[in-house]
Chain A
Amino acid sequence: MTAIRPAGKPRARAHWLLLPAAAVLLVVFFYPLATILWRSIAEPEFGPGNYLAVLGDAVALRVVLRTLGTALIITAVTLLIAYPYAYAMTLVGRRARGLLTLLVLMPFWTSLMARNFAWYVLEQRGGVIERAFAAIGIHGVTLLGSVAGVTVAMVQVMLPFMVLPLQNAMLGIDRGLLHAAGSLGAPRPTAFLRIYLPLSMPGVLSGVSVVFIMSLGFYITPALLGTPQQALVAQVIGTRVNDLLDFPGAGALGAVLLVITLVVLALLGRVAGPVGASMTGGGDRG
């Protein structure tokens, strides 16, 4: 991806403003990361053994695929909910937009743990969700301990990360273009598909990449609402560290996840081309 260059000549002096951030990253991110990567090739003996073990481990691969699939579903569901929501935000008046922004940001300000436990209570056996389904004749819907339960909770966590870039991109779209398309004979769906949707793609891509990448590394929500039988890769890394004490093996699995993340980011960057400049990489949360 290309970084945004301010207009005119890049000023070398301005780079020093990055120094505090660089120093922090160096100490609290790159140094530990380098240590983890080093241990993954240096222990128990030097070589690619840990990586070969991960790649030859049917369970690890299944978990990686499950994680990719879950992240994909979460991203798709989030996009389906967020797109019309963000679109509506651009149509309504200033006060209503403020309210809609507040609604989407509210869960964002709530502690992740509080939200997880709230979902735990809602999703548990005999909980609100199960009783609501039972009331309409569908019995035995216990979301707790299932991929569906994890997906529902994670979609809620991810919504702001999708809505905000979408709304940002949509606010920049000149609605006059839609009227122009209409006056040239395009029916409204065509005008939307040919004009509006392509113009909103930068927002879609940046939302999709943030949500997908964050979903890949999520730990607490799947650990609490899911089950080991449906473990995602972060949980398996946790198990390797905490229960198996296999630090180098966990490092290798972490490195595989990192590579997948970078590949996804690079692919999205290619798709996005120059518009990808506005994309930001997501970090692990929770």
Chain B
Amino acid sequence: MPRRTSTLLSAVTILALVTGCAVSEGGANSLVFVSYGHGAYQTGQRTAWLEPYQKETGTTVTIDGPTSNAKLKAMVEAGKVGWDVVDTDASAAAQACGSLLEPVDMGAQARDFPPGTLTECGVPDAFFGMTLMYDAKVYGEHPPRSLADFFDPDRFPGRRIVYGGDPSVGTLETALLADGVPRDRLYPLDVPRALRMYDRIRPELTISSTYGDQQQRMAGGQADMALIVSARAYSLLADGADWKVVPGVPIPVTWDVLVVPKGTRRSEQAKQLIRYVCTPARSAAFAELSGAGPANKAAKPRFPAKARQLDFWGADMADRRVLSNVRWWAANRTWVAKAWSDWTTG
């Protein structure tokens, strides 16, 4: 009998050891920074933020990715938090504040962000404009000129593509603006009305579950018209794709935030890194590399000509940008995400 018991015990012990080793904690002088993919976005963060920070402070910053709110939630609930600073979307952060995320006190730096964008747990680090684009080869002399054209398959036939993983990136706002809802009366969002707009183009619509997939399909001729976040539009244009931005239309603006998961043992160092990357110089450097809008109002990134049309912070864009109402999203995110996912899978 003892031999049998010990066989079982050793097997279980080995397994426990193997699974237990999966979470590596690193030392006190190191941080794990989590962001999206391997594109211009994360490369920009590494070059503009993490490498200089490493040089100045001696802290080793390890990059992990992609961000997954589900993984973050599972880590915090299991009490095994391996992430210290996470780049995620603003409304998810506002919703999870207090339960999964720690408050980040920005002190005097709080004034540096566009009004209404800084929340208790989420520090804005990158801004995106929801941009209407079209394949120049397809539409040539007769390009779409308004948001409404995206939802009009009769006048503008062709395959549409949107990102479907998260409706809070301006997807619904665009539909309502296209349907004539005034900018200042967008919130509370009339979600059924927005979905009725998408009903019109349902047969023509491709829904990508990642931005990478969306960008790849656009470059590969799998779509003719797209609603795409500006940082991806920037990458697409930088790669030389023959796509054009529809000028003069309203641009719903959303942003990503940096958060500190509850339960990390290095929350002070994590907050120090966050305060560092929000300085005007770091903010501008990242914006130039990634094409995302800078988070610090004082940042003055120098964009190449191609990217200037995507710069929604530009002086001539003031009457076109429509900032997301992050508080409305935080309060309504659960049911809106379900309604959107039901619409897409229904």
Contacts and interface: CB of A to CB of B under 8 A. Distances in A.
Interface of A: 16, 19-20, 23-24, 26-28, 58-59, 62-63, 124-126, 144-145, 223, 227-229, 231, 235-236, 239-247
Contacts of B327: none
B15 A28 contact: yes
Contacts of B334: 244
Interface in B281-335: 334
B195 to A, nearest CB: 13
A250 to B, nearest CB: 9
A16 to B, nearest CB: 7
B70 A125 contact: no
A59 B345 contact: yes
Contact of B342 (A59, A125, A227): A59
A229 B337 contact: no
A67 to B, nearest CB: 11
B207 A229 contact: yes
A247 B74 CA distance: 9
Given A126-B221, A246-B338, 14 more contacts: A16-B4, A27-B15, A124-B220, A125-B221, A227-B207, A228-B164, A228-B341, A228-B344, A228-B345, A229-B346, A231-B344, A242-B70, A243-B337, A247-B70
A241 B73 CA distance: 10
Nearest to A28: B15
Residue of B220, B221, B341 with most partner-chain A CB within 10 A? B341
A240 B220 CA distance: 29
Contacts of A242: 68-70, 165
Contacts of A245: 69-70, 73
11 contacts: A20-B11, A23-B8, A23-B12, A24-B15, A27-B15, A125-B221, A126-B221, A227-B206, A229-B346, A243-B166, A244-B334
B266 interface: no
A125 to B, nearest CB: 5
A59 B70 CA distance: 22
B345 A231 contact: yes
Interface size range of chain B in the complex = 20 to 34
Interface in B124-171: 159, 164-166
Contact of A27 (B19, B206, B338, B342): B19
B221 A235 contact: no
B202 interface: yes
B346 A244 contact: no
Given A243-B165, A244-B338, A235 B345 contact: yes
Contacts of B69: 242, 245
A173 B341 CA distance: 51
Nearest to B14: A23
A19 B11 contact: yes
B7 interface: yes
B346 A62 contact: yes
Nearest to A27: B15
Contacts of B12: 23, 26-27
A24 B16 CA distance: 11
B345 to A, nearest CB: 4
Contacts of A240: 341
B338 A229 contact: no
A244 B344 CA distance: 14
Contact of B8 (A19, A58, A62, A239): A19
B73 A19 contact: no
B220 A63 contact: no
Contacts of B47: none
B11 A23 contact: yes
A244 B205 CA distance: 22
A228 B207 contact: yes
Interface string B1-45: 000100110011001100100000000000000000000000000
